[in-house]
């Protein structure tokens, strides 16, 4: 059985090749890209400046349809979570995060997650498969359209949804190039963030891509032992090697890294943690995002008090780390990663 490709699998040069192969001029590729990525269409039939013959041919050769929404939940703060059904019955979660005048989309890259971090809901049901480039882009297109309704155009993309982006490297890279491409979504590379749990070989590969994107590292542990407990990936890619890979990445790309660090009461925000992080970050110019733990009922953790959170931040700042506290958004709608999918 041959499966028909989603048109969003095609890069711009691939679409040009296709147009030429069916005796259409190459500028058709530009027109089709505009309809898909800039004018929010969701079918070939809406592409008014294409001939009937071409529309019929496209309908024969490709799939192009919006994602099927299973659920949409809107939080008091405007954060909106979508749960989509994919063709094979898998489900993905996508989050729209509004700011004053613009919108960020938090995108999933895999159905489930194989990394099993001991605070994250995404890994609880295990991993099923990688998402295809078209499935990654379709999430963004959906949120782009939604954001226009609220007059807060989509400006930022963060790969912090379900799954490990660097474990789906090739499809991710293809999607990022389309997000960045002027003829497609035209979102600046610096407004695209890839977050990883620390897959070292892929951090090296990412550094060689020549992209100006932002890299975030989910650190969460303050030394090898504490990271071993929270993140099984640390057994394969230990704390010190990860920090070394980060230093190499910063040196070779001349870009900063943001470290994400979860604040779990009595686990990650002790004095010992401050001292250890001080050592680990010595001489490194970086940002640290402190994320208060968002309760997931399958784990037995607690969120620190506000006072504990800010005390920890102040201590880090004292030794020169630029730390910000990321206050939870959309808590009332199961804000933490992977929770919506799990609740079904």
Catalytic residues: 93, 337
9 or 164: CB nearest ligand SAH: 164
**Which one of residues 336, 340, 341, 342 is an interface residue with ligand SAH (CB under 6 A)?**
336
Question: What is the closest distance, in whole angstroms, from the C-beta atom of residue 293 to ligand SAH in the complex?
Answer: 5
Residues 75-94, one symbol each (x = binds ligand SAH by CB under 6 A, - = not), give --------------------
CA distance 76 to 293: 20
- SS3 string, the chain, reads CCCCEEHHHCCHHHHHHHHHHCCCCCHHHHHHHHHHHHCCCCCHHHCCCCCHHHHHHHHHHEECCCCEEEEEEECCCCCEEEEEECCCCCEEEEEEEECCCCEEEECCCEEECCCCCCCCHHHCCCEEEECCHHHHHHHHHHHHHHHHHCCCCEEEEEECCCCCHHHHHHHHHHHHHHHHCCCCCCCCHHHEEEEECCCHHHHHHHHCCCCCCEEEEECCCCCHHHHHHHCCHHHHCCHHHHHHHHHHHHHHHCCCEEEEEEECCCCCCCHHHHHHHHHHCCCCCCEEEEEECCCCCCCCCCCCCHHHHHHHHHHHHHCCCEEEECCCCCHHHCCCCCHHHHHC
Q: Which stretch binds ligand SAH (CB under 6 A): 28-36, 193-201, 236-244, 266-274?
A: 193-201
Q: 21: burial class by Cβ within 10 Å (0-12, 13-18, 19+)?
A: exposed
Query: Taking CB under 6 A as the rule, which mask of x and - marks residues 34-73 in contact with ligand SAH?
Result: ----------------------------------------
- Return the range that interacts with ligand SAH (CB under 6 A); candidates 32-40, 94-102, 160-168, 307-315: 160-168
Total of residues contacting ligand SAH (CB under 6 A): 17
Q: How far is the CB of 219 from ligand SAH (least distance, A)?
A: 9
Query: Which are the contacts of 311, defined by CB distance < 8 A and separation ≥ 6?
Result: none
- The residue (of 7 and 219) whose beta carbon lies closer to ligand SAH is 219
Q: C-alpha distances in angstroms, 101 versus 97, 150, 191, 284?
A: 11, 9, 15, 33
Which of 5, 118 has the CB closer to ligand SAH? 118
Binding residues for ligand SAH restricted to 262-301, rule: CB under 6 A: 262, 291, 293-294, 296
* Residue in 32, 164, 192, 273 binding ligand SAH, rule: CB under 6 A: 164
337 is a contact residue toward ligand SAH (CB under 6 A): yes
Tell me the closest approach of the beta carbon of residue 254 to ligand SAH, in angstroms. 22
Tokens 């699998």 sit at which residue? 9
Rounded least distance, CB 158 to ligand SAH, Å: 8
Interface positions, 15-34, toward ligand SAH (CB under 6 A): none
Interaction pattern, residues 96-125, with ligand SAH; x per rule: CB under 6 A: -----------------------xx-----
Query: Which one of 37, 260, 334, 342 is in contact with ligand SAH (CB under 6 A)?
Result: 260
Min dist CB 49 to ligand SAH, Å, is 39
Length of the chain in residues, anyone? Answer: 344
For ligand SAH, the closer CB: 98 or 338: 338
Residues in the site for ligand SAH, rule: CB under 6 A? 119-120, 160, 164-165, 195-197, 218, 260, 262, 291, 293-294, 296, 336-337
């Amino acid at each position: 059985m041959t499966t028909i490709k989603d048109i969003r699998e095609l890069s711009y040069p691939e679409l040009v090749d296709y147009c030429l192969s069916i005796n259409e001029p190459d500028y058709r590729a530009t027109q089709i890209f505009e309809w898909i990525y800039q004018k929010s269409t969701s079918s070939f039939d809406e592409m008014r400046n294409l001939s009937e013959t071409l529309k019929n041919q496209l309908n024969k050769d490709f799939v192009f349809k919006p994602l099927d929404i299973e659920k949409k939940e809107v939080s008091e703060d405007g954060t909106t979570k979508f749960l989509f059904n994919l063709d094979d019955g898998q489900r993905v979660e996508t989050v729209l995060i509004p700011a004053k005048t613009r919108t960020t989309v938090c995108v999933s890259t895999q159905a489930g997650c194989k990394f099993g971090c001991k605070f994250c809901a995404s890994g609880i049901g295990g991993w099923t498969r990688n998402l295809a480039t078209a499935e990654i882009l379709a999430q963004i297109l959906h949120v782009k359209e939604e954001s226009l309704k609220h007059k807060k155009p989509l400006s930022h993309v963060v790969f912090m949804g379900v799954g490990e982006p660097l474990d789906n490297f090739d499809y991710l890279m293809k999607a990022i190039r389309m997000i960045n491409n002027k003829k497609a979504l035209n979102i600046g590379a610096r407004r695209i963030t890839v977050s990883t749990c620390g897959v070292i070989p892929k951090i090296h590969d990412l550094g060689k891509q020549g992209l100006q994107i932002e890299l975030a590292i989910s650190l969460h542990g303050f030394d090898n032992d504490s990271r071993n407990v929270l993140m099984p990936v640390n057994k394969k890619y230990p704390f010190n090697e990860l920090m070394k890979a980060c230093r190499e990445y910063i040196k070779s790309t001349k870009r900063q890294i943001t470290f994400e660090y979860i604040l779990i009461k009595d686990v990650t925000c002790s004095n010992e943690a401050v001292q250890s992080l001080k050592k680990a970050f010595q001489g490194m110019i970086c940002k640290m995002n402190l994320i208060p733990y968002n309760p997931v009922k399958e784990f037995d953790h607690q969120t620190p008090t506000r006072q504990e959170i800010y005390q920890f931040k102040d201590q880090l700042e004292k030794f020169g780390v630029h730390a910000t506290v990321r206050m939870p958004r959309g808590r009332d709608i199961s804000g933490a990663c992977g929770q919506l999918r799990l609740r079904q």
